């Protein structure tokens, strides 16, 4: 790609989906313009660029939009393919990477969201579900340094963006990720040694403040 | 790939997800062993090959499993890349193809399922939702022969497998796809001219019989 490519990211600062794109762009050292959206009053540009889902993140590359975070990350990897490959080279390993990213996409968001937006029995059920999901993920990670093996990649990007929300989950769910899922936390620390991750992820305390505000709006506390 | 590759498909004959894999395998002219699963009594092989989701379809290629229909279709396209390409060559077009296949995956199954497994207000709400989704799809198809343009591909495979269920939807939902979505039906007929599609899709009357049996089991009729 040419150096004068125009890249714009429509995003929301705390979004685990938008963060995936920010980490992929950082891995590839791509310069871009960041636009933080007010999700309660979405911009005309966002509605025009993602008329189907009307959601962030949207990557606008030379005027053309790409939507859905995992699709954007694959697009970035395919366009800027000369550096920091994110997808494995082998088709079978690539299918496995897509499988786990898809699993994370389908299974992690909703129950973790319910831990911070519900209480009582509903919250307990969500916590049980989160534990089951992370047990599966901890099993898949095993003793590998990263989900795809020796190198940081697509599956790591899919999951690591939830880690800045762990403090919030622990606070509302009353548990310790480190005690329950030591391998996931060791992997989180490993990922945080990468500049692309460390510089992209927001402060967990700011995430907690945001989650507390939302809980108040829901009349839960 | 070598001619002595061993390919096994764990599937269920009426599954719109399994059918995607069957069409992709037919497009690529790949010989394989078909194993129809009893979904009420899943085989040990299925549970071993897809321990996470425990769902069909599973493609077992030389003993190694690939799960989730859209991931399997991409895998097939990447492994047998010397014939009948299913994904566009250009990264932007590939991202768009993934976007629409993902949209179909997330939006079409659940409301179409509810049309045949509910009644009254719930069924009417499902019908409204199905109409909204197909309006978006009809708009995206426009006057193109296929979703990706001139050539049959990934997005077509993602959606065409629902067409053998249209007769069932029309029967339970009391509407005509041809009247409501003429472009989708013209596209369906175009796809049915392909041997890979025509030979894979089951008879819509058999699908209706299956759906009627399930409705009886649910105590709806």
Q: At which of A29, A54, A79 does a domain end?
A: A79
Mean pLDDT of the region B33-45: 97
> Does residue A139 sit in the same domain as residue A206?
yes
Q: pLDDT digits over B153-183, tens only?
A: 999 999 999 999 999 999 999 999 999 999 9
> Does residue B60 sit in the same domain as residue B120?
no
Q: Is the model's pLDDT at B214 over the cut of 80?
A: yes
pLDDT of residue A41: 97
CA-CA distance, B58 to B48, in Å (whole number)?
A: 11
pLDDT of residue B221: 73
pLDDT of residue A2: 57
Instruction: Spell out which residues of chain A touch residue B155, defining contact as CB-CB under 8 Å.
Output: none
Tell me how close the Cα of A5 comes to any Cα of chain B, in angstroms: 14
Whether A208 contacts A167, CB under 8 Å: yes
> Does residue A98 sit in the same domain as residue A74?
no
pLDDT tier at B5 (50, 70, 90 boundaries)? Answer: very high
Q: pLDDT digits over B187-196, tens only?
A: 999 999 999 9
Residues 15-44 of chain B whose Cβ lies under 8 A from any Cβ of chain A: none
pLDDT profile of chain A (221 residues), mean per 10: 83 98 98 97 98 98 98 98 96 98 97 95 97 98 97 98 97 96 98 98 98 92 73
Q: pLDDT digits over B13-28, tens only?
A: 999 999 999 999 999 9
Q: Residue B173 CA to chain centroid, in angstroms?
A: 20
Query: How many domains would you assign to chain A?
Result: 2
Residue from the list B92, B95, B136 with its beta carbon closest to the beta carbon of A52? B136
Please, which residues have CB within 8 angstroms of residue A47's CB and are 6 or more apart in sequence?
A54
Is residue A96 a part of any domain in this protein?
Answer: yes
pLDDT tier at B55 (50, 70, 90 boundaries)? Answer: very high
Is residue B199 a part of any domain in this protein?
Answer: yes
Share of chain B above pLDDT 70, in %: 99
Q: Is the model's pLDDT at B90 over the cut of 90?
A: yes
Please, which residues have CB within 8 angstroms of residue A214's CB and are 6 or more apart in sequence?
A116, A117
Region of B84 please: left (phi>0), alpha (psi -120 to 50) or beta: left
> Does residue B23 sit in the same domain as residue B67?
yes
Q: At which of B25, B48, B79 does a domain end?
A: B79
**Contact flag A92-B66 (C-beta cutoff 8 Å):** yes
What integer best gives the mean pLDDT of chain B?
96
**Contact flag B68-A92 (C-beta cutoff 8 Å):** no
Q: Which of B128-132, B137-141, B216-220 has the lowest mean pLDDT?
A: B216-220
Residue from the list A52, A78, A102 with its beta carbon closest to the beta carbon of B103? A52
Structural domain span for residue B189? 91-217
Angle between helices B91-107 and B109-117 (to 10 degrees): 20
Is residue B190 a part of any domain in this protein?
Answer: yes
Whether B9 contacts B18, CB under 8 Å: yes
Whether A7 contacts A60, CB under 8 Å: yes
pLDDT of residue B2: 57
Instruction: Spell out which residues of chain B touch residue A99, defining contact as CB-CB under 8 Å.
Output: 66-68, 71
CA-CA distance, B122 to B118, in Å (whole number)?
A: 6
Whether A1 contacts A80, CB under 8 Å: yes
pLDDT of residue B197: 98
Is residue A2 a part of any domain in this protein?
Answer: no
pLDDT of residue B69: 98
Taking alpha carbons only, the member of A141, A152, A160, A148 closest to residue A96 is A148
Instruction: Spell out which residues of chain A touch residue B132, defining contact as CB-CB under 8 Å.
Output: none
pLDDT of residue A1: 55
């Amino acid at each position: 790609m040419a150096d004068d490519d125009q890249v714009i990211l429509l995003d929301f600062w705390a979004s685990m989906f938008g963060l995936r794109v920010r980490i992929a762009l950082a891995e590839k050292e791509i310069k871009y313009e960041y636009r933080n959206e007010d999700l309660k009053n979405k911009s005309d540009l966002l509605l025009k660029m993602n008329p189907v889902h009307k959601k962030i993140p949207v990557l606008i590359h030379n005027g053309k939009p790409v939507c859905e975070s995992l699709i954007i990350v694959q697009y970035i990897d395919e366009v800027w393919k000369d550096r920091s490959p994110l997808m494995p080279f082998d088709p079978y390993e690539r299918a496995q990477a897509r499988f786990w990213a898809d699993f994370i996409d389908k299974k992690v968001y909703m129950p973790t969201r319910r831990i911070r937006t519900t209480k009582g029995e509903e919250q307990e059920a969500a916590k049980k579900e989160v534990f089951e999901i992370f047990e599966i993920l901890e099993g898949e990670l095993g003793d590998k340094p990263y989900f795809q093996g020796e190198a940081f990649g697509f599956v790591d990007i899919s999951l690591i963006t939830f880690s800045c929300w762990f403090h919030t989950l622990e606070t509302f769910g009353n548990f310790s990720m480190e005690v329950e899922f030591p391998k996931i936390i060791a992997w989180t620390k490993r990922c945080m040694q990468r500049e692309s991750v460390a510089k992209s992820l927001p402060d967990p305390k700011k995430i907690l403040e945001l989650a507390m505000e939302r809980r108040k709006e829901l009349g839960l506390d």
